[in-house]
Amino acid sequence: MAKRTIKSIGLVVKRNQPEALAIAQKLAQHIRSKRIVALAEPEIAARIEAVAVSREELAERADFVVVLGGDGTLLGVARLTAARATPILGVNLGGLGFLTQVAVEEAQQAIDRVLKGDYEVDHRITLEVIVQRATNDLRRMDRFIAVNDVALNRGPLGRMLELEVRANDQPFCTYRADGLIISTPTGSTAYALSAGGPIVFPTLGVVVLAPICPHTLSNRPIVLPDSTELEVRVNVSDHDATLTVDGQESSMVGAEDLIRIKRGAHGVSLVRSEHGYFEVWRNKLRWG
């Protein structure tokens, strides 16, 4: 990849994890030795001698971001940096993580590769989610960006949902199920996998629809082109559903609220591990 001018590196550290903090201290020292500014959130910055900024400001200022934590930590950062196409390097601290693929002992070397321009980036699609409320008041529209998935789950009463789905303005399917997951290829190894969805090669341009415990056995997971624009309505009027984005943001959805889902305008740029996808899958999923 062409060398990118890097003047500042953001370090995002999983909170309440001493190991992550110790690694961040070493990486911050290494970054400073390269005459590059290290940025971190205030509670971390004071302990690793970095410049203190909010996470939002870090996403705006950093030319490159290193995440020390799990996939959840990386997802939160990825949604903030997508519009700027900031390269993100995920360092795995020992969890299952499919996004944080670089081992701790490889982190410093990986940073040096990025500084030299000797690296490749995976461009992962996102989903843009718009919830248009039944009042039709445009001021009551909620917007989200999903890197992994959008999930609709049954509400507090635990009753089955009836979800009417249209694809490219055509009737597609009415799901009677505990819920529905709309996933990117990146999210195919997350919640959708637990619902019986397929594992999808991360850079393919597709979306996965995976029903959760469907009432009808023919309602199987399906893969659609990422050019497909989806509309989802909750048909049952006496209880709400919960819409969750990447397992981190949520909103209640009622009858006749309209959920629009399409490919996001901006993708996420992940620094590619030196280990190939097949090796990662084989190791993470213990395929032998």
What is the C-alpha radius of gyration for the chain, rounded to an integer number of angstroms?
Answer: 20
Task: Identify the band that residue 15 occupies on the pLDDT scale cut at 50, 70 and 90.
Answer: confident
The answer, yes or no, to whether residue 26 has pLDDT greater than 90, is: yes
Q: Check if the beta carbon of residue 174 is closer than 8 Å to that of residue 164.
A: yes
Task: Identify the band that residue 27 occupies on the pLDDT scale cut at 50, 70 and 90.
Answer: very high
CA distance 179 to 181: 7
What domains can be seen in the chain, in order of their start residue?
A: 8-124+267-284 (3.40.50.10330), 127-263 (2.60.200.30)
CA distance 105 to 94: 12
- Of these residues, 63, 71, 240, 257, which one is catalytic? 71
Q: How far is CA 58 from the centre of its chain?
A: 18
* pLDDT (tens digit per residue) in 114-166: 999 999 999 999 999 999 987 766 557 899 999 999 999 987 777 899 999 99
Token pair, residue 246, equals 């990447």
* pLDDT for the residue numbered 101: 84
* pLDDT (tens digit per residue) in 98-109: 899 899 999 999
What is the arithmetic mean of pLDDT over 89-99? 87
Mark whether 149 is an active-site residue.
no
* pLDDT for the residue numbered 9: 98
CA distance 206 to 55: 30
> What secondary structure letter does DSSP report for 99?
S
Q: CA angle at residue 271 from 69 to 129, to 5 degrees?
A: 75
* Sequence-ordered list of residues with C-beta below 8 angstroms from that of 154, at least 6 positions apart, any chain: 160, 161, 178, 179, 239, 241, 242
What is the arithmetic mean of pLDDT over 208-226? 96
Task: Identify the band that residue 243 occupies on the pLDDT scale cut at 50, 70 and 90.
Answer: very high
